[in-house]
Amino acid sequence: MSVARAAAERGVACLRRSVARPTVAGMDGLRAALPGPEDAFGLGLVLVLIGGFLLANSILLRHPRALVAEHFGGGREKLVSIRGVLFQRLQIHLGFLFLLVGFALEIYGHYGAGGAGTPAAPRTFSKVWVGAIAVAVVALELGGWWLSHALFLRYVRQHFRAHPPALESDLALARELGELFGIDSDGNDSVQSYLLRIRQRLGIQDSARPAPERARGLPAEAESEAEEGFV
């Protein structure tokens, strides 16, 4: 019995060592991959610079030409300009996120590097981590632009579903919506079929569209001229 018990204990000990070795090796590899305190301060400075750039780029400064046009009662800006506002708002969130993470890394690098009596070791600039941060920033910017575009199209659909537009009386808005949703008009396309495709893309029922201009008193010749000029 004692021999069997000793063999069982040796088997359990060997099993524990075999399980513990990969775990310890994995933790050591994770510690080696993560930036240490000596690299955290520099990486934090890089993140702070990126966050400051994103915040500066997201400041909403209108062009003087738009201010002059608004002062003298000019026309409205294009609908696609709202997408830029959404993207700038997303850049504000990303900028503050990079600032907070950068300051946290600076604190970690300052207080985690050791005491004042520890001799300072020579430090090298971590190019790998800087490259990874650059790739992450580019990916976040591209993803943010795609997300702002998707949200913009969603808000446009929700607005026009709640307030169906009179596209027959506002052909400029119809052209703008067609360009926004990628609806091309060929030479054989009529105004009504083109507007029908726009309504289908917006999710608007054709029965809910407003009355056309001819029903409001316009002659048939004016409607035919508008169709020819639109197509």
Residues 31-63 have pLDDT tens digits of: 555 667 777 888 899 999 999 999 988 876 666
Of the chain, the percentage scoring pLDDT greater than 70 comes to 62
Report which secondary-structure segment, H or E, holds 140.
Answer: helix 127-162
Helix, strand, coil abundance in the chain, percent, nearest 5: 75, 0, 25
Q: What is the spatial distance between Cα 109 and Cα 97, in angstroms, rounded to a whole number?
A: 18
Using alpha carbons, list the distances in angstroms from residue 128 to 106, 124, 131, 132, 206: 18, 11, 5, 6, 57
Is 62 in contact with 69 (CB distance < 8 Å)? no
Q: What is the DSSP letter of 215?
A: G
Nearest partner of 157 among 81, 86, 79, judged by Cα = 79
At residue 125, the pLDDT reads 65
pLDDT at 15 exceeding the cut of 70: no
At residue 22, the pLDDT reads 46
Under 8 Å CB-to-CB from 18, ≥6 apart: which residues?
none
User: Where does residue 211 rank: exposed (0-12), middle (13-18), buried (19+ CB within 10 A)?
Assistant: exposed
Residue with tokens 């197509």: 231
At residue 95, the pLDDT reads 93
Is 169 in contact with 196 (CB distance < 8 Å)? no
Q: At what angle do helices 37-57 and 127-162 cross, to 10 degrees?
A: 30
Report the mean per-residue pLDDT for the chain. 74
Residue with tokens 């289908």: 200
What's the whole-model pTM score? 0.60
b/e per residue 132-154 (b: at least 16 CB within 10 A): ebeeebeebbeebbeebeebbee
At residue 77, the pLDDT reads 72
Is 43 in contact with 126 (CB distance < 8 Å)? yes
Q: What is the DSSP letter of 13?
A: H
Q: What is the pLDDT of residues 94-124, one digit of tens each?
A: 999 999 999 998 888 888 765 544 555 556 6
Q: What is the spatial distance between Cα 183 and Cα 189, in angstroms, rounded to a whole number?
A: 11
**Mean pLDDT value across residues 137-148:** 91
